[in-house]
């Protein structure tokens, strides 16, 4: 049924994008989840992330983040293949090859040091867009934060499309998950001031979060917007920056919120 619904959406103008205003038919329940997420962030995630960033040396945080990002590349390659993006697939492959060998299993980001193309961070939500599936309504998920119906389906699919998931055996799979959680905590701690300014200082943190998320997500899939989104709840979901695990926490550039916004995958 879900597949038929997705196929039926193909080829038609996307009302969620063309209507101008955010398509948010579930705003009442979304706002309830938003307030719950803020309470969880204030009571659990923010203090843990701050403590983690204060305790763990910056160099160690960087190494862990590099490793988690490198593990996400095979999943991005799968999505680039499904999108017909041969250039992205090739650049991610060589980045993964270089960092996995010369970079000691991804601990060192040699690919960036030698000016190789940046990672595509391709995910299945982006793949669905390429296939013509509509964005759908905006939703805020408990613990996971902002999303759209299309991105949420993609987030679930990304849990199974990364070959690393099947290549690693226990306990290596737990180590991989731990590095993604660490990556998310590092991002939440490092950009705490900017994130807090949106979550706790905005007149309407829900509207601000929704706007920033939709702008960033639409930028990523090619519908316009700006690349300025960071998701602190990715740490609780066990994902890093578009690890396709988006996904989880992508750090872009925002003139208003420095390098982040409040809640990626």
Domains held by the chain: number = 1
pLDDT score of 229: 57
Question: Is 18 a member of any domain?
Answer: no
d(CA 155, CA 169): 22
pTM of this prediction?
Answer: 0.80
d(CA 47, CA 70): 27
d(CA 95, CA 227): 22
Of 36, 9, 14, 247, nearest to 147 by C-alpha is: 247
Question: Is 4 a member of any domain?
Answer: no
Question: Is 3 a member of any domain?
Answer: no
Domain of 197 in residue numbering reads as 25-237
Question: Is 89 a member of any domain?
Answer: yes
Question: Is 1 a member of any domain?
Answer: no
Question: Is 249 a member of any domain?
Answer: no
What are the backbone dihedrals phi and psi of residue 148, each rounded to the nearest 5 degrees, phi first?
-125, 170
Which pair of tokens denotes residue 48?
Answer: 């843990």
Neighbours of 32 (CB within 10 A): 14
Which pair of tokens denotes residue 2?
Answer: 């879900």
List own/partner pairs for 48-53 with CB under 8 A and 24 or more apart.
Answer: 48/185, 49/185, 49/186, 49/188, 49/189, 49/192, 49/232, 49/235, 50/189, 50/192, 51/189, 52/182, 52/185, 52/186, 52/189, 53/185, 53/186, 53/189, 53/190, 53/192
What ranges in the chain are assigned the alpha helix state H? 2-9, 15-18, 27-40, 46-55, 58-83, 86-101, 110-113, 124-130, 149-161, 164-167, 172-190, 192-199, 205-221, 234-237
pLDDT in tens, the chain (265 residues): 444 454 444 445 677 777 668 899 999 999 999 999 999 999 999 999 999 999 999 999 999 999 999 999 999 999 999 999 999 999 999 999 999 999 999 999 999 999 999 999 999 999 999 999 999 999 999 999 999 999 999 999 999 999 988 887 777 777 788 888 999 999 999 889 999 999 999 999 999 999 999 999 999 998 765 555 555 555 544 443 333 333 333 333 333 333 334 444 3
Question: Is 108 a member of any domain?
Answer: yes
d(CA 133, CA 209): 23
Question: Is 257 a member of any domain?
Answer: no
């Amino acid at each position: 049924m879900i597949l038929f619904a997705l196929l039926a959406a193909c080829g038609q103008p996307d009302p969620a994008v063309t209507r101008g205003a955010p398509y948010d038919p579930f705003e009442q329940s979304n706002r309830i989840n938003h307030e719950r997420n803020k309470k969880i962030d204030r009571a659990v995630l923010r203090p843990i992330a701050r403590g983690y960033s204060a305790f763990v040396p910056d160099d160690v945080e960087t190494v862990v983040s590099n490793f988690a990002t490198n593990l996400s590349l095979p999943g991005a390659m799968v999505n680039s293949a499904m999108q017909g993006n041969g250039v992205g697939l090739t650049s991610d492959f060589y980045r993964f090859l270089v960092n996995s060998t010369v970079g000691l299993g991804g601990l060192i980001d040699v690919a960036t040091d030698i000016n190789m193309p940046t990672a595509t961070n391709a995910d299945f939500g982006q793949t669905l867009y390429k296939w013509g599936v509509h964005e759908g309504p905006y939703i805020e998920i408990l613990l996971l934060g902002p999303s759209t119906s299309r991105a949420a389906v993609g987030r679930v699919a990304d849990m199974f499309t990364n070959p690393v998931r099947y290549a690693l055996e226990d306990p290596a799979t737990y180590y991989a998950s731990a590095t993604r959680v660490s990556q998310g905590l590092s991002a939440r701690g490092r950009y705490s001031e900017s994130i807090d300014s949106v979550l706790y200082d905005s007149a309407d943190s829900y509207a601000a979060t929704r706007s920033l998320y939709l702008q960033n997500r639409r930028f990523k899939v090619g519908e316009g917007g700006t690349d300025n989104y960071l998701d602190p709840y990715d740490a609780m979901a066990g994902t890093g920056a578009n690890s396709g695990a988006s996904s989880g926490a992508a750090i872009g550039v925002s003139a208003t919120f420095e390098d982040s916004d409040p809640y990626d995958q």
